[in-house]
């Protein structure tokens, strides 16, 4: 039996197990006919204002999403998995998405990719669109979402996997690692090198909740160590770029006199800090030790090579795919098995 046949065989089982909110449910709660609900969804202005208000209230209460895939096309829609990442410009998710796409393609599933630009409202809009096409599964990045997004996904009955983060209660299933523990690992490494006047340099942490959690874990670990002279968390409001790293290093040196160690929210920020050190003639690691996050392609070959923390992006992709395929078969895991910790590894190089 080929992959497509296996998928067709398991799709009906999934649909029998799912309890989707239907148009009938909306009509019952709004106390109107299903045909009125259908008309409202197609042409809201054609329905009386009073009826439209009741239907809109029922849709919001139930978390109903209209199924845009009609009749015989429904089976085809079950071959699509919606993946939503914070940004397609961010190289960190490329390995995970690539692996996930390969694993799903082997089972006859195709991927639709969306990016939220770290905005919960945009993510919610993408989720609504995805659910309207009856996907086989939805994959989100991280555990922070709007209440409406959570309600929509829980009401949908569709398998949901949140990737790249664990540590909270998932909507359905989660695969990733603890970001506070990543921050703590960076702090322990700098402390082990005798660094005591340190800073965490991050960007867009008001929106990038995972980077903010790494910063928090870093500061907490530093705070637990006796004899630490100073620790600062410094945020750049814009994107986490090389240029941001340069700006952040200068701010850190102003806020922390005799700065001797920094951890960065990602390798791009760390690279910018390294460039700024070179421009100012600051020896790395003699004067300032630098730790990144992500282990991007340049990290091993820049000068000096960058000590960084590597998340297992490919393993995350494989585990997410496994959970999706299990969920499509109606076999969602329960309890602790819903959450998979893929861990992280600190890779020591010349920058520390």
Q: Convert the pLDDT of each residue in 80-102 to its tens digit.
A: 999 999 987 777 789 999 999 99
What CATH code is assigned to 179-311?
3.40.50.2300
Nearest CA-CA partner of 308 in 252, 350, 247, 260 = 350
Residues of the chain within CATH 3.40.50.2300 domain(s) are: 72-177+315-342, 179-311
Q: How far apart are CA 72 and CA 134, in angstroms?
A: 13
- Interhelix angle for 313-328 vs 94-105, to 10°? 40
Q: What is the reported pLDDT for 332?
A: 74
Position 228 scores a pLDDT of 66
Q: What is the pLDDT of residue 286?
A: 98
- What is the CA 327 to chain-centroid distance, rounded? 20
Quote the tokens at residue 221. 């670990």
Give the lowest-confidence range in 125-139, 219-233, 258-272, 327-341: 327-341
pLDDT, residue 21, reads 85
320 three-class SS:
helix
- Residue 162 · residue 170 · CB < 8 Å: yes
Sign of CA dihedral 112, 145, 308, 235: positive
Residue with tokens 């845009």: 68
Domain 72-177+315-342, classified CATH 3.40.50.2300, yes or no: yes
Q: Is 228 exposed, middle or buried (0-12, 13-18, 19+ CB in 10 A)?
A: middle
What does 267-284 look like in DSSP terms, one character per residue? HHHHHHHHHHHHHHT--T
Give the 3-state secondary structure of residue 305.
Answer: coil
Residue-wise pLDDT tens digits, 97-156: 999 999 999 988 999 999 998 899 999 999 999 998 889 999 999 999 999 999 999 999
DSSP secondary structure of 249-273: HHHHHHHSTT--EEEESSHHHHHHH
Length in residues, the chain: 352
Does 20 have pLDDT greater than 60?
A: yes
Of 168, 96, 150, 12, the C-alpha closest to 160 is 150
Mean pLDDT, range 160-168, rounded to an integer: 96
Contacts of residues 95-99 at CB distance under 8 Å and 24 or more positions apart, as own/partner, are 95/313, 95/314, 95/317, 96/163, 96/164, 96/313, 96/314, 96/316, 96/317, 96/320, 97/317, 98/317, 99/313, 99/314, 99/316, 99/317, 99/318, 99/321
- The set of residues, in sequence order, having a beta carbon less than 8 Å from that of 272 and lying 6+ positions away, is 241, 242, 243, 244, 245, 246, 247, 248, 249
């Amino acid at each position: 039996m080929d992959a497509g046949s296996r998928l067709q065989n398991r799709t009906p089982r999934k649909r029998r197990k799912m309890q989707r909110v239907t148009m009938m449910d909306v009509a019952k709660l709004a106390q109107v006919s299903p045909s009125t609900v259908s008309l409202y969804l197609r042409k809201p202005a054609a329905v009386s204002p009073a009826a439209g208000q009741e239907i809109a209230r029922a849709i919001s209460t139930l978390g109903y999403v209209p199924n845009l895939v009609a009749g015989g096309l429904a089976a085809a829609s079950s071959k699509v998995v919606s993946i939503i990442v914070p940004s397609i410009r961010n190289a960190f998710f490329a390995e995970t998405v690539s692996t996930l796409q390969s694993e799903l393609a082997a089972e006859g599933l195709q991927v639709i990719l969306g990016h939220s630009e770290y905005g919960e409202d945009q993510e919610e809009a993408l989720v609504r669109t995805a659910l309207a096409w009856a996907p086989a599964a939805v994959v989100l990045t991280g555990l922070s979402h709007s209440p409406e997004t959570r309600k929509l996904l829980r009401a949908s009955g569709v398998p949901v996997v949140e990737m790249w983060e664990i540590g909270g209660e998932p909507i359905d299933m989660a695969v990733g690692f603890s970001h506070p523990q990543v921050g703590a690992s960076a702090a322990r490494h700098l402390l082990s090198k005798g660094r005591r006047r340190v800073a965490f340099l991050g960007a867009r942490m008001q929106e990038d909740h995972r980077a903010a959690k790494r910063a928090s874990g870093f500061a907490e670990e530093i705070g637990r160590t006796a004899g630490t002279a100073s620790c600062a968390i410094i945020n750049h409001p814009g994107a986490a770029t090389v240029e941001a790293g340069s700006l952040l290093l200068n701010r850190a040196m102003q806020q922390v006199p005799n700065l001797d160690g920094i951890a960065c929210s990602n390798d791009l920020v760390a690279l910018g800090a390294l460039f700024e050190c070179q421009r100012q003639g600051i020896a790395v690691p003699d004067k300032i030790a630098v730790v990144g996050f992500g282990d991007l392609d340049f990290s091993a070959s820049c000068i000096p090579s960058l000590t960084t923390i590597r998340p297992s992006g490919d393993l995350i992709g494989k585990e997410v795919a496994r959970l999706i395929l299990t969920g499509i078969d109606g076999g969602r895991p329960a309890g602790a098995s819903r959450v998979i910790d893929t861990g992280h590894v600190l890779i020591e190089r010349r920058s520390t």
